């Protein structure tokens, strides 16, 4: 949906004379506005600098860079007013860059105008064919979609109810439902919606209700949408869908309710559609045993553990490490673990003679293993990690899996949640 505002904000600035040929455009974005701007900037010959919070998916970053944008990552744990806050940082870069123009989607009236005169009439035309529109559920980041649609519907469909879907941690749901503007926001992992302040272009006067949706609800709703309907939506799509379902279940008569699929889930394959990421963050449930198995991310008995054999080539092991973004591999002889191979082992073996990549794994693996019984206390992991090793968890002679430092950190963080 952000390609609409990207085109509108750039062309309106051109018409006003705010952007000159060869100018540099600067914006702070969660990613999708940046993609919309990049689509236009590359066609018009503008350089584009985007400041993006570091919680955004790597797929978005790759997408933006592939489209020619210069991407600067900044902290996602600071609020507006902090010099590292993505919007403040973008504004500063624009001021300090000769010939730069700050798009400023959060304060740019051309943002809601794109929806008031474009998206809104399009929705009304389409919904008019199926009996009209009783309610629309939307998210709010810059507030452009909400404000523009609100203005459009005020004149052309005043009976349409406006419903906000907001991540838990954002201040907007509380503001809509209770009229309180909290000056302390929380954190959330859903991308592109939710705020810790009221954007200057926002108009919430016609929003009747808001639902605060947890990250877990959002991600699971998006995954269920894919399973049930074959629609691959992004993280905010899950938030909107979860809120829309709550709204619909509260109704006592049939209604036509519209909800946005804001962007494609292709940008989130490494996050909400990655079972390991979901497990790491506590968003998927897995059977708990009360022992070290609870810390193993990739259990061997489920064939989740990536392994190599002693006769596999080192180049094969290297390729598996790269593919699965892991640093170590158990070396298995049938169902028996006989060694461990990590990046350092490969490096030390091949350095000075790259032909050794063709050597078998057995020539570089470590066969002295740090083995822990599955019933060992969690504290037993610390000496293993202090030696720079990974823990190999066994139940008698049966290999269960590996535990790394990050596995322990993730387990500790989930306990806090």
Q: Where are the domains positioned within the chain?
A: 2-102, 110-268, 286-416
User: From CA 225, how far away is CA 231, in angstroms rounded?
Assistant: 6
pLDDT at 383: 96
Q: Six-digit token pair at 319?
A: 């390729």
Neighbours of 250 (CB within 10 A): 9
Q: What is the pLDDT of residues 198-219, one digit of tens each?
A: 999 999 999 999 999 999 999 9
Question: Which residues does 213 contact at the CB level (< 8 Å), separation at least 6?
Answer: 165, 166, 167, 168, 190, 239, 242, 243
pLDDT at 417: 65
Nearest to 60 by CA among 272, 285, 313, 210: 272
Contact 268, 221 (CB under 8 A): no
User: From CA 327, how far away is CA 318, in angstroms rounded?
Assistant: 9
Q: Six-digit token pair at 415?
A: 């306990």
10-13 CB contacts, 8 Å cutoff, 24+ apart: 10/37, 10/40, 10/41, 10/44, 10/46, 10/103, 11/40, 12/110, 12/113, 13/101, 13/103, 13/110
| Active-site residue list | 2, 236
* Assigned fold of 110-268: Rossmann fold (3.40.50)
Cite the beta strand spans of 214-349 per DSSP E.
257-259, 328-333, 336-342
- What CATH number labels 286-416? 3.10.580.10
- What CATH number labels 2-102? 3.40.50.1100
Place of tokens 């995954």: 223
388 DSSP 8-state letter: T
User: From CA 168, how far away is CA 180, in angstroms rounded?
Assistant: 15
User: From CA 96, how far away is CA 19, in angstroms rounded?
Assistant: 16
User: From CA 23, how far away is CA 16, in angstroms rounded?
Assistant: 14
Q: pLDDT under 50 in the chain at which residues? A: none
Nearest to 141 by CA among 48, 224, 234: 234
pLDDT at 160: 97
Does the fold of domain 110-268 match that of domain 2-102? Answer: yes
């Amino acid at each position: 949906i952000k390609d609409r505002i990207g085109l509108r904000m750039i062309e309106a600035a051109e018409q006003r004379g705010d952007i000159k040929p060869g100018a540099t455009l600067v914006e702070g974005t969660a990613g999708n506005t940046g993609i919309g701007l990049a689509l236009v900037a590359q066609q018009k010959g503008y350089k584009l600098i985007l400041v993006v919070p570091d919680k955004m998916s790597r797929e978005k970053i790759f997408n933006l860079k592939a489209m020619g944008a210069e991407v600067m990552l900044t902290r996602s744990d600071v609020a507006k007013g902090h010099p590292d806050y993505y919007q403040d940082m973008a504004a500063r870069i624009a001021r300090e860059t000769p010939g730069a123009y700050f798009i400023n989607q959060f304060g740019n009236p051309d943002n809601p105008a794109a929806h008031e005169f474009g998206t809104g009439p399009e929705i009304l035309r389409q919904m008019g064919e199926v009996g009209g529109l009783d309610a629309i559920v939307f998210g709010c980041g810059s507030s452009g979609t909400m404000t523009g649609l609100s203005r459009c519907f005020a004149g052309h469909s005043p009976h349409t109810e406006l419903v906000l879907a907001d991540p838990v941690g954002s201040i907007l749901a509380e503001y809509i439902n209770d009229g309180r503007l909290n000056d302390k926001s929380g954190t959330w992992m859903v991308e592109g919606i939710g705020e810790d302040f009221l954007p200057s272009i926002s108009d919430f006067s016609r929003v009747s209700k808001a639902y605060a949706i947890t990250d877990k609800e959002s991600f699971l709703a998006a995954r269920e949408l894919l399973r049930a309907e074959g629609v691959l939506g992004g993280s905010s799509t899950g938030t909107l869908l979860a809120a829309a379902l709550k709204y619909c279940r509260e109704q006592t008569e049939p209604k036509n309710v519209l909800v946005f699929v804001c962007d494609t889930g292709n940008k989130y394959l490494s996050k909400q559609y990655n079972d390991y990421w979901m497990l790491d963050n506590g968003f998927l449930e897995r059977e708990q045993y009360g022992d070290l198995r609870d810390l193993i991310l990739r259990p061997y008995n489920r064939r989740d553990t990536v392994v190599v054999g002693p006769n596999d080539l080192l180049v094969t092991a290297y390729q598996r490490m790269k593919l699965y973004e892991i640093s170590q591999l158990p070396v298995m002889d049938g169902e028996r673990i006989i060694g461990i191979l990590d990046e350092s082992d490969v490096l030390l073996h091949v350095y000075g003679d790259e032909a050794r990549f063709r050597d078998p794994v057995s020539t570089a693996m470590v066969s002295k293993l740090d083995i822990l019984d599955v019933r060992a206390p969690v504290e037993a992991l610390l000496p293993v990690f202090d030696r720079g090793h990974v823990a190999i968890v066994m139940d008698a002679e049966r290999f269960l899996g590996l535990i790394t430092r990050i596995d322990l950190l993730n387990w500790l963080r989930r306990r806090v949640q």
